[in-house]
Amino acid sequence: MIDLKVYNTVPKLFWYHVENNGDKISIWRKEKGLWESTTWAEYGNYVKDIANALLDAGVKRGDKVSIISLTRYEWVVVDLAIMSIGAVTAPVYPSNTEEQVEYIVDHSQSKFVFGEDQEQLDKMTEIWPNIPEVAQLVIFDKYVPKEINHVMTLDTFREKGKAYGEQNPNELKNRIQNGNPEDLISFIYTSGTTGNPKAGMINSRNVLAVVKHLPTIYGISEKDTSIAYLPLSHIAERDLGHFMKLCSGNITIFAESIEDMAANLRQTGPTIMFGTPRVFEKFYARISSGVKDATWLQKTIFNWAIEVGKQYTHNNDKEIAHSLFLKLKHAIAHFLIFEKIHDIFGGNIRFMISGAAPISPNIVHFFHWVGLDIYEVYGMTETTGLISANQMGRAKIGSVGEIYLDTEVKIAEDGEICCRGPQNISGYYRNDEATKELLIKDENGLEWLHTGDVGHIDEDGYLFITDRKKDLIITAGGKNVAPQNIENLMKTSAYISQAMVYGDRKPYLTMLLTLDEDEIAKFARDRKILYQDLADLSKKQEVVDLLHHEISMLNKELASYESIKKFHILEEELDQDKDEVTPTLKVKRKVVITNYQSIIDQMYGGKKAD
């Protein structure tokens, strides 16, 4: 057991593993088509060289350093190097536009920037005149042209660090030892659904308050492997794909990309997987699509197996003993169906975690029936990722779990969830007004973080989220409607990629949706529908009829006032470049409503859109 009173910062925890578990594998990543392992000692040597290179470059304690890259080994190396010298990481989503990159680099007052590749170099080159405080840009991959004064490769930068470390052997060690749990180590920029993103200020105390309990709750050890693929600019992957291993010692697999993640799962067979609801929705849609294309006999076997899985998990959940006959049926169902679904995830998954947005209980139930448990958790940037969590062996599907250890939650009079705990950030960088709205003292002088989410706690202590406080819809009939719950249900259709429900002060609900390109293309191919592109396909009557049927079926699970009465298929995905979604694909409702107001009006009997 690691003494967190001694190893009380993120860098100190990392160097504990380097010094005590140096020969053990820490990371797997793909290099030139082959999976290669990295030990803690190798990991540490790389971090040491980059940290010394930063010192050589004049980066001081408290200076801000940006990283603009997809999730990869170099990202976490640079992050730990920045924190080890007492500087502050300011992550930028690699999908951000030039304007968004400029805003974050400028707002964070970054003095130094690490970029992944030519794409990020091109963005930085375009905005370079507008960010005079940035002294140097280091690129992970090769780039052209090579001769740019303020740009160098990571390999060249590392060589400078090696030389500096030889001449100054104790400086880095002193920086690490002098680190304090209250020192700022990173910003995490919020999604920015209602304006410019805000920089949550994260320190080591915040991080350790979250990750120190995860090994106990989920039985995670150095024998486990997890796969990292979501943006490390987001607190969820930062916690589970980066920081968690500093307490548990587990191995991290870095996927080649989000697109390659499914193939990487099968190649590496991790035991732990974190995903956003969209990730699990896509897996669910893929399985559902396969069942639709199956023969009558295959469908019959699949449906029988699912019914067996339902009964088996029901008995487990209620602690009812299984009959010998049920055990036999379950073994057959596993052999014929469940094992094939497990193989999609690599065959070794012990459990999966879903967070960052609400997930449909239907999807969680389905995977539970086939023996793949998804534990939904709840948190936000401002709570360093966690407020509550469904725990192994005591999950309640539909809830976001029990209140996290060392954490207090209260429900305000208007239903807003408020939180107190060591994971709460101290505020937003350079935004006192937003900080005052986030952290509010009660009549007893206790400071509570106001989440902006509405929910309730049941009699067993499980937290349920209704919706975002600002997103709740009140229909013309006075009914309160939570749009996220409806949207999540609609996205269980294999053909729906994105959905946005509308209807505030309206007599009925409508919905804008986008098509899942892979599934709708397959539908068109099977029915020999000729089309030019996705925009053309979205207008085909066969597609409209298909979506009408899908939505009508899903409406049966909703109250009449929650059902979707009219919908419109958009010609293309909601786009980050148009500011319609955040980098984590959260819909910016105000922007989408503005962009498609004429279409929305048409669904309520207004003038037909041109």
Among 3.40.190.10, 3.30.300.30, 3.30.2130.30, 3.40.50.300, what is the CATH number of 473-603? Answer: 3.30.300.30
Does position 330 have pLDDT exceeding 60, yes or no?
A: yes
pLDDT at 336: 97
Task: Convert the pLDDT of each residue in 309-327 to its tens digit.
Answer: 999 999 999 999 999 999 9
Kindly report the average pLDDT of the chain as a whole number. Answer: 94
Percentage above 70 pLDDT, the chain: 99
Mean pLDDT of 252-260: 96
Mean pLDDT of 249-254: 98
Q: At what angle do helices 277-292 and 296-317 cross, to 10 degrees?
A: 140
- Give the chain's radius of gyration (CA, Å): 25
C-alpha torsion sign, points 420, 421, 427, 432 = positive
Does position 433 have pLDDT exceeding 50, yes or no?
A: yes
Task: Convert the pLDDT of each residue in 568-609 to its tens digit.
Answer: 999 999 988 888 888 777 888 889 999 999 999 999 986 543
Percentage above 90 pLDDT, the chain: 85
In this structure, the chain runs to a length of 610
Beta strands in 443-495 (DSSP E): 447-457, 463-468, 473-474, 480-481
Evaluate whether 211 touches 239 at the Cβ level (below 8 Å).
yes
pLDDT at 583: 79
Structure tokens at 397: 């599907």
The distance from CA 357 to its chain's CA centroid, rounded to whole angstroms, is 8
Distances in Å between the Cα of 419 and the Cα atoms of 181, 268, 399, 442, 566 are 21, 38, 17, 12, 38
Q: At what angle do helices 296-317 and 324-333 cross, to 10 degrees?
A: 130
| Of 32-46, 294-308, 526-540, the least confident | 526-540
Torsion region of 505: left, alpha or beta (phi above 0 gives left; psi -120 to 50 gives alpha): left
pLDDT at 418: 97
Topology classification of domain 277-347+349-468: Rossmann fold (3.40.50)
Q: Which of 79, 153, 147 is nearest to 116 (CA)?
A: 153
Topology classification of domain 10-179: Rossmann fold (3.40.50)
Mean pLDDT of 66-79: 98
Does position 147 have pLDDT exceeding 90, yes or no?
A: no
Count Cα atoms within 13 angstroms, Cβ side, for 196.
Answer: 17
pLDDT band (50, 70, 90) for residue 475 = confident
Three-class SS string for 339-378?
A: HHHHHHCCCCCCEEEECCCCCCHHHHHHHHHCCCCEEEEE
CA atoms of 165 and 48, how far apart (whole Å): 8
pLDDT at 52: 98
pLDDT at 278: 86
CA atoms of 72 and 227, how far apart (whole Å): 11
Evaluate whether 418 touches 450 at the Cβ level (below 8 Å).
yes
Distances in Å between the Cα of 481 and the Cα atoms of 473, 475, 508, 548 are 5, 7, 11, 21
pLDDT band (50, 70, 90) for residue 265 = very high
pLDDT at 196: 82
CA atoms of 388 and 399, how far apart (whole Å): 10
SS3 31: strand
Classify residue 446 by burial, with Cβ atoms within 10 Å: 0-12, 13-18, 19+: exposed
Task: Convert the pLDDT of each residue in 347-378 to its tens digit.
Answer: 999 999 999 888 999 999 999 999 999 999 99
Task: Convert the pLDDT of each residue in 13-63 to its tens digit.
Answer: 999 999 999 999 999 999 989 999 999 999 999 999 999 999 999 999 999
Asked if 10-179 and 473-603 have one fold, the answer is no
pLDDT at 485: 86
Task: Convert the pLDDT of each residue in 181-206 to its tens digit.
Answer: 999 999 999 876 566 889 999 999 99
Mean pLDDT of 493-511: 93
Q: Write the DSSP assignment of 409-444 as a string of letters.
A: EEE-TTSEEEEESTTS-S-BTT-HHHHHHHEEE-TT
Q: Where are the domains of the chain?
A: 10-179, 277-347+349-468, 473-603
pLDDT at 610: 35
pLDDT at 609: 38
